[in-house]
């Protein structure tokens, strides 16, 4: 049985590690995913809420995007923290499995979860990539990495494997077509699917307005 104390300590640890990060993968992203995951878990029968909370808090602790594409950086960091807190091996493995598989890796790839808890945390993470916040995060990430806002001469690419997705350095608007608009159909839980509908439509409306303004129509 995981104690509430572990959740409080994990939140404090992650906040110290990730506060002030400027690409949209900061503590407040983790906080929102944590809150979303708790909300979804209360609506879905049979979820282990404590596993959901700890995995949500640790899901981005060492994201591959900031660790030379190393997919094991996150699971290793999660293990190190949980071992320091004396957590049992089965719990550590469950958290690692979620952290390892949570990321989107391209249109042609799947990131299936082996547990309901994993599906909930992944849904929460994907919801935070949609809607008004998702738009803000996309441009924050693009700006931090020196990407163009938009270049109509460079078309979106639906990456069929992780290697091509990982190497992608296209402009930010392409990211909407290469990832964000695809997330609605990749939600697992009924709760997240319902929430994604609104956020997806918001992005579609934003892109319609963006392109109309770009072309001088509005």
What dihedral do alpha carbons 90, 125, 35, 25 form, nearest 10°? 100
pLDDT by residue (tens digit) across 177-190? 999 999 999 999 99
pLDDT, tens digit (0-9, with 9 covering 90-100), for 30-86: 999 999 999 999 999 899 999 999 999 999 887 656 556 667 888 999 999 999 999
The answer for residues whose C-beta is within 8 angstroms of residue 55's C-beta and 6 or more apart is: 37, 94, 95, 98, 99, 117, 118, 121
d(CA 121, CA 75) in angstroms, rounded, equals: 15
Please report, for the chain, the start and end positions of each structural domain, with discontinuous segments joined by +: 4-214
Assign 3-class secondary structure to 139-157: HHHHHHCCCCCCCCCCCCC
The CATH T-level fold of domain 4-214 is Hypothetical protein af1432 (1.10.3210)
pTM: 0.91
């Amino acid at each position: 049985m995981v104690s509430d104390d572990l959740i409080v300590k994990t939140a404090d640890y992650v906040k110290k590690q990730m506060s002030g990060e400027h690409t949209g993968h900061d503590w407040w992203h983790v906080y929102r995913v944590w809150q979303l995951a708790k909300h979804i878990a209360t609506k879905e029968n049979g979820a282990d809420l404590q596993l959901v909370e700890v995995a949500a808090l640790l899901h981005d602790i060492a994201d591959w995007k900031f660790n030379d594409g190393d997919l094991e950086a996150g699971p290793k960091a999660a293990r190190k923290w949980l071992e320091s807190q004396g957590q049992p091996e089965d719990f550590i493995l469950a958290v690692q499995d979620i952290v390892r598989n949570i990321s989107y890796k391209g249109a042609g790839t799947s990131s299936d979860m082996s547990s309901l808890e994993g599906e909930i945390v992944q849904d929460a993470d994907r919801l935070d990539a949609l809607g008004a916040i998702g738009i803000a995060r996309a441009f924050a990430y693009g700006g931090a990495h020196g990407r163009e806002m938009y270049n109509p001469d460079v078309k979106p690419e639906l990456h069929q494997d992780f290697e091509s997705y990982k190497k992608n350095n296209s402009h930010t608007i392409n990211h909407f077509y290469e990832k964000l608009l695809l997330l609605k159909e990749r939600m697992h839980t009924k709760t997240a699917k319902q929430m994604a509908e609104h956020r997806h439509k918001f992005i579609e409306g934003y892109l319609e307005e963006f392109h109309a303004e770009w072309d001088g129509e509005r």
